[in-house]
Structure 1
Amino acid sequence: MSVPVFTADGPRAVARWRGETIWLEPVGRNAVRVRATRNAAMDEAAISGLLDLPAPDAAPEIGENAAIVTNGAVRAELRLVKRGMGPALELRFLNTSTGAVLMEEEPPHILWPGTRAYTSEGGDLWRIETRFRAHDGERFHGLGQHQHGRFDQKGCVVDLLQANTEVVVPWLHSSRGYGVIWNSPGTGRVELAANRTLWSLTAAPQIDYVVVAGDAPQAILTDYLHLTGLPPALPDWALGFWQCKLRYETQDEVLEVARAHRDRGLPMDVMVVDFFHWSRMGEWRFDEAAFPDPAAMVAELREMGIETMVSVWPTVNANAATYDEMANAGYIVGARHAPLAGSVFYDRDPPVKNALHFYDATHPSARDYHWGRIREGYVRHGIRAFWLDANEPEMYPMHPEGLRYHAGDGRAVTNAYPALHQKGYAEAFAAEGIDGLMLSRSAWLGTQRHPVVVWSGDVASTFPDFARQVKAGLNMAMSGIVWWTTDIGGFKGGDIGEPDFRELLVRWFQWGAFCPVFRLHGFRQDAATDPKLGHDFLYGGAANEVWSYGPEVEAILARYLHLRERLRPYLRRTMAAASEGVPPLRPLFLDFPDDPAAWDVADAHLFGPDLLVAPVLEAGAAERAVYLPRGATWTCAWTGETYTGGQTVTADAPLDRIPLFLRDGATLPIAEES
């Protein structure tokens, strides 16, 4: 009696062959999930970015040599095929309506290895590679945020490891009409080469991915978000301008800047208090000498219509009052091979480099403990906005193989750290009725379902870095991260007295007014006044207010502050659409998928449905070329001149103007002066 290779388990198809088990199951509306392992059993408790959704009412087709699962627009086929070393299980995915092959596995050699290769890493962990056929002309977008400067990532090798400015959100959209959720928090890489597409995991118990199919990019993106979580509404108080610098040292300084904004008639929604406002890292409370009455500060700011946001790091100073208690309870990320699992960095007390550990955000009780400290140190003063910095977690050198989390081996789970950290805050907000918000430097699958804004990290203050952020933001939009922003002006290297930096700041600020969140930040230098500013973290940075760059710059920046305020009704409509899965900042092809030229545009974008934004990304430029997509008419928001879509125009861009075009007769208060 022969043992069947293929069986059904409810809606799931199961295949067992030569020590490997593969599951195919329908999920969501137009998607199929694949899991595969060489372990004795599938790890169903593994960290997942997917929502726990009811299974679709679909039955697999089981045959002697194949199993087929069809769900909406996608058909997944798992077949036993002849290969040089004997029959092998191979997968392919097709569009249900057209029969077109979307994605299919491809063996690298006629004999060995197969399309899925496993190498033991000890215990239940495997080094895994899975290979797919490459296609000329295929375009790839998403994968989170990376600083390689590419929008279309065909031809790239992308490391799957969280780092400052490198955000791993492993969702990949293909121009061939599908997307892949790589549902593993383990480290690895993806190769999007001309000769193959390869996904790899450094050490994981199993393969876990989802293929989503659809007829248009927005439909595919929306289905992905239904599987991993739709974004909540952004609070109305977060739609305007956020003021930030490294760093405001005292309560008095924070209030002085806010009052100056008010006295100048400049709008502000959020005032950010950066690091070292605390006693020690890991105590998560204000330093009483510098901030003697945080509740009074928060109350005065709120009376001015300004919310207070505080920087919170997940680090715990070995000298902190909480350290022994957390270490004894197992709330600190542990080490598998080394004595220190953390970083060495500056802290306020003692004001030198300290040994810093990280609380273990993969441990539910550690998240509860951390929130308890946040509640006592900040929430009781009225604070509801938290800047979650360094939450990749940022360890240098970063060796995931040396980390031991509550959830498992660092190689297998570390990329989920930021999302689990955010989950702790989101659950506390919901339980305690807090209309809260997080600003985070990292993200993973599902981050978008929490009230989180992601920013692009500590990028340099140069025009090339500015241009890279535009492409990074477009890929974040295609990764479902709809609330995203940057450090306007870049984080490091900008001198407030230098004309070249002032030009960069103006151009970045103009673009920032048309990003989902409008936030000024940086570690500024001022060599003419004090050479230490912008170099020594404990010493701090130079001024970074709207009026810090001279009257000419101040006048331009003030113009865009008021423009953003005039757009608030439009922002509300745009942000409401984001909660349905439509990114506010988005590539042109998302709205114009049938225009081939729109797929090539990586230096301009839509901001909401009615506005095309074309930032000036080169120093000294006074004009720039702008492609206007086919299928719409476009009107210059500054001059009123109208153009037919499907052409490239040259837009004037004097220093005080960013090229903006209105779609199909839309009217927005761009050129009005308040």
Structure 2
Amino acid sequence: MKGITWKERNALCWRYDTELMRIETYGQNSFRVRITKEPDFSPRDWALIEVAELEPEIEVNEKGFTVTNGNLTAKMDEFGALSFYKASGELLFAEQWQTRDDPANHIPLMYYGHEIRRHLGERLSKCTLRLEAYEGEKFFGLGQHQISQLDLKGCRFELAQRNSQATIPFVVSNRGYGFFWNNPGYGSVTFANNMTEWIAEASTDIDYWVTTEETPAQIVSRYTEVTGRAPKFPEWAAGFWQCKLRYKTQDELLSVAREYVKRGIPLSVIVIDFFHWPQQGDWKFDKKNWPDPKAMVEKLHSMGIELMVSVWPTVEPRSENYAEMKANGYLIQSDRGVRTNYICLGSPVHYDAMNPGARAFVWDRIKENYLDPYGIRMFWLDETEPEYTFYDFDNYRHYLGSSMEVGNYYPVAAAQGFYEGMIQSGIKDVINLTRCAWAGCQKYGVVLWSGDIQSNFKMLKLQIKAGLNAAVSGMAWWTTDIGGFYGGDTQSASFRELLVRWFEYGVFCPVLRLHGHRKPLDAPSGEVEEVADSGLFDVESCGPNELWSFGEENYGILKNMVLLRERLRPYVMTAMDQAHKTGIPPMRPLFMDFSEDIFCWSVEDEYMFGDDLLVAPIMDEGARSRTVYLPSGRSWVNVYTKERFDGGQTIECAAPLEYIPVFASDAKLTELFQS
């Protein structure tokens, strides 16, 4: 074997020439693998939290070495190629080497299984990991992407954060392993038929974590064990959340809340969206439209409604906080050009959430202007990619480094700042909403939502897959803009049907939340002159988005759906508690519960909600039935008709506009569906 080896605590270390490798136990049946050409590894653990050290079994000889941790074995051959096996000897995956090193497998291409190539004149390198591809392998997870596939095999992805794209570089393979690329920098991953390739464009280390378990649910549980699990979900948040772009005044918001109470519709949360502030970065109410927030919050609480307010990370030069934040280095820097990140009713820059001083500064303003005086304890952390007008990642610089090296970590840092501030302020049931996430976000009490998506049936289909892959990636709390965000016309019969179908799906999401920018628009306010393609638009002119806004017949359906969600609250909370304790998400693909049923690995438009409900959304306009696959190993009851079916078969199921197909493996649950 080339190179030298030595043991350090719970790790085997290996060096050959300038290359240094460390394979350490990291949780049961799991390894963290790091490779660098620097004198030592980066000290940052990123998403990985501290876990108890486990003693590995190590064997070294002239043919290479093996390191075993429970049911997982890592092997290096005499030429430096790594592979991973179950204890039974079953191969999980191996690096792909195409070099001259092995005389018995001479390939002159000189592609290495792991490769670190330094950028000229810089400390950073392009880091690449190439793995063999296997016939029939499927991949799931990788966060939230707007694509038509649940199985990621055959796809290539940018590893970056964008509006509606949340990169969480963890995947579950049907070969029995989970893989986490522990690098928050810009890059890509390709799940091709000839290789799997992970690339970090600007880094010092290759850093990944791998685990093996008998079921995909156990793999996700193991992953959340080392990256953190969602806190205990507050029961008061398990009902219906009302939101739109946007309630413009205190009186308007209270009138909507009163109308819900008058109509007997339970409301858990109502939301104040953006531009309720004087300037971006002031993080406080504009007293003109919100003259008495304290009285408003007290009135909402008397109706049993919690208030959430939008918080943007943008800071306008006209903000009262801009000069102080700039002086202290609390704003994201631009390496070239004008220091403007985003064009939206001004030319703001984002606060640098990776800077602990900036996090503390922003939380102090939130505490001073929302929590302490008014008791507001829910925050909508919008724009947390952060969103740029141009995603020139090589031009932005954070406290921890260039966006190319660390940019994907921004949503974690933003969530961390609010979570820690809220905990220190005595709030024990933290729950905030975020538009983006990376690995580990789940432990900071955030609900991920799927961004500013279009209002059409095509986009509804995509959200089902986006939500399920986000769940596999550890995000137990997830939601979407019911009805989509852009383009929904409340007077359109087509949109009304879409809204109903989306809402019926939303009842069986972790969080039930209605939001959108609706037409027909209100009359322009005249306060902002709209200029096409300029970032200047009238945020006052947005249409209605309440349950009674979509026609009388649909109103009855939507009200029934909210009341159904109320009856399901104990069931929802049981699923949320399971996520808190085990990391297994409440909404999940069928294969997580039925991994031995080979057909479940190919079902992409149904899912389990909790342990006993199978949900089959309606995703096509005009559809009044659909086929449903019922997994083997259980019998299933249609919760509306009470028909019973054996598992392991596909059936045709009616789906009138009033409901979508739902099946229970516990017949007692059908009583909750009888209105």
Q: TM-score range by the shorter chain?
A: over 0.9
Matched-pair contact (CA < 8 Å) for 1:5–1:65: no
2:457 maps to 463
Amino acid at match of 2:518: R
Structure 1 Cα separation of the partners of residues 58 and 395 of structure 2: 42
Note the 1:210-609 alignment, pairs <5 A.
Answer: 210-346=209-345, 354-380=346-372, 381-434=374-427, 435-526=429-520, 536-579=537-580, 580-609=582-611
Q: How does 1:133-212 map to 2 (within 5 A)?
A: 133-212=132-211
User: Is 2:92 aligned against 1:102?
Assistant: yes
- SS at the partner of 1:324? helix
Measured against aligned partners, the alpha-carbon deviations of 1:6-52 in whole angstroms (never above 9, x if no partner) come to 221122111111311111111111101110111122111x2510001
- Name 2:73's counterpart in structure 1: 75
* 1: CA distance, partners of 2:213 / 2:541: 50
What SS does the corresponding residue of 2:368 show, helix, strand or coil? helix
Deviation at 1:436, TM superposition (A): 2.7
| Contact persistence 1:141–1:475 (CA under 8 A) | yes
Q: CA deviation at 1:127?
A: 0.9
Map of 1:54 onto structure 2: 52
Structure 1 segments unaligned to the other structure (5+ residues): 82-88, 347-353
Give distance in 2, aligned partners of 1:237 and 1:141.
Answer: 32
Shift of residue 532, structure 1, vs aligned partner: 9.9
1:229 to 1:537, Cα distance in 2 relative to 1, 3 A? farther
The aligned amino acid for 2:584 is: V
1:669 counterpart = 2:645 = no
Counterparts of residues 16-35 of structure 1 (less than 5 Å): 16-35=15-34
The CA distance in 2 between the partners of 1:43 and 1:513, in whole Å, is: 44
For residues 653 and 67 of structure 1, what CA distance do their matches in structure 2 show?
A: 58
Q: Distance in 1 between matches of 2:297 and 2:670?
A: 34
Deviations 1:436-463 (A, max 9, x none): 3110000011011111100000111010
Q: Is the contact between residue 55 and residue 69 of structure 2 (CA under 8 Å) also seen in structure 1?
A: no
Identical positions, percent: 42
Large movers: runs of 4+ above 4 Å: 529-537
Letter in 1 for 2:65: A
Say which is worse superposed, 66-75 or 115-124, in terms of deviation.
Answer: 115-124
Cα distance, 1:57 vs structure 2: 2.4
* CA-to-aligned-CA distance 1:393-442 (integer Å, 9 cap, x gap): 10120111111111012111000000011011111122121133110000
CA distance in structure 1 between the partners assigned to 2:62 and 2:10 by the alignment: 18
Q: Secondary structure at the match of 1:78?
A: strand
The CA distance in 1 between the partners of 2:525 and 2:181, in whole Å, is 45
**Does the aligned pair in 1 maintain the 2:481–2:514 contact within 8 Å?**
yes
Q: Report the number of matched residues.
A: 655
Please tell me the residue identity of whatever aligns with 1:102.
L
Counterparts of 2:138 and 2:284 in 1: how far apart (Å)?
A: 47
Q: Does the CA contact (< 8 Å) of 1:341 and 1:403 recur in 2?
A: no
Matched residue, 2:83: 92
The SS at the match of 1:423 is helix
Helix, strand or coil: the match of 1:365?
Answer: helix
Partner of 2:653: 651
1:56 to 1:301, Cα distance in 2 relative to 1, 3 A: same
Indicate if the aligned counterparts of 2:180 and 2:209 stay in contact, CA closer than 8 A. Answer: yes
Indicate the SS of the match to 1:186: coil
Aligned partners of 1:47, 1:379: CA distance in 2, in Å?
32
Q: What are the superposed Cα offsets for residues 274-294 of structure 1, whole Å, 9 maximum, x if unpaired? A: 001111111100101111111
SS at match of 1:345: coil
Distance 1:531 1:510 in 2: 33
**What is the CA distance between 1:65 and its match in structure 2?**
4.5
The one-letter amino acid paired with 1:114 is: Y
* Alpha carbons of structure 1 residues 635 and 537: separation in structure 2 relative to 1, 3 Å: farther
Counterpart code for 2:556: A
Deviation at 1:108, TM superposition (A): 4.2
Normalized against structure 2, the TM-score is what? Answer: 0.95
Aligned-partner Cα distance in 2 for 1:341–1:205 = 29
Q: Aligned equivalents of 1:587 and 1:448: distance in 2? A: 19
> Shift in Å at residue 606 of structure 1?
0.9
Do the aligned partners of 1:489 and 1:508 also contact (CA within 8 Å) in 2?
yes
Q: What RMSD over aligned residues (CA atoms) do the two structures have, in Å?
A: 1.7
| Aligned twin of 2:104 | none
Distance 1:73 1:53 in 2: 18
Call closer, same or farther: CA 1:61–1:666 in 2, change over 3 Å: farther
Contact 1:440 1:455 in 2 (8 A): yes
Aligned equivalents of 2:292, 2:389: Cα separation in 1: 35
Q: Partner of 1:66 in structure 2?
A: 64
Instruction: Summarize the Cα distance change of 1:30–1:642 in structure 2 as closer, same or farther, 3 Å threshold.
Output: same
Q: Which moved more, 1:109-118 or 1:281-290?
A: 109-118
Distance, in Å, in 2 between the alignment partners of 1:562 and 1:665 is 20
1:577-607 CA distance string (max 9 Å, x none)? 1112121111111111110111111111111
Q: What SS class does the counterpart of residue 606 from structure 1 fall into? A: strand
Residue type of the alignment partner of 1:119: R
Question: Does the Cα contact within 8 Å between 2:248 and 2:540 map onto a contact in 1?
Answer: no
Aligned amino acid, residue 457 of structure 1: G
User: TM-score, normalised to structure 1's length?
Assistant: 0.95
Closer/same/farther in 2, CA of residues 108 and 157 from structure 1, 3 Å limit: farther
Counterparts of 2:2 and 2:554, CA distance in 1: 76
For 1:356, the aligned partner's letter is P
Partner Cα separation in structure 2 for residue 437 and residue 520 of structure 1 = 17
Matched position secondary structure for 2:562: helix
Q: Distance in 2 between matches of 1:337 and 1:16?
A: 39
SS of 1:143's partner is strand
The gaps in structure 2 that reach 5 residues or longer are 100-106
Shift of 1:203: 0.4
C-alpha separation between the residues in 1 aligned to 2:595 and 2:538?
A: 46
Aligned partner letter, 1:521: H
CA displacement 1:50-79 (0-9 Å, x = unmatched) = 001232123533334523221122111123
In the superposition, relative to structure 1, how do residues 3 and 558 fare at CA in structure 2: closer, same or farther (>3 Å)? Answer: closer
How many Å separate the matches in 1 of 2:65 and 2:237? 50
Match of 1:84 in 2: none
Rounded Cα–Cα distance in structure 2 between residues aligned with 1:660 and 1:436? 31
Q: In 2, are the aligned partners of 1:162 and 1:392 still within 8 Å (CA)?
A: yes
Paired position in structure 1 for 2:102: none
**Distance in 1 separating the partners of 2:233 and 2:666:** 27
Aligned mates of 1:47, 1:343 — CA distance in 2 = 30
Q: Is the 8 A contact 2:145 2:166 kept in 1?
A: yes
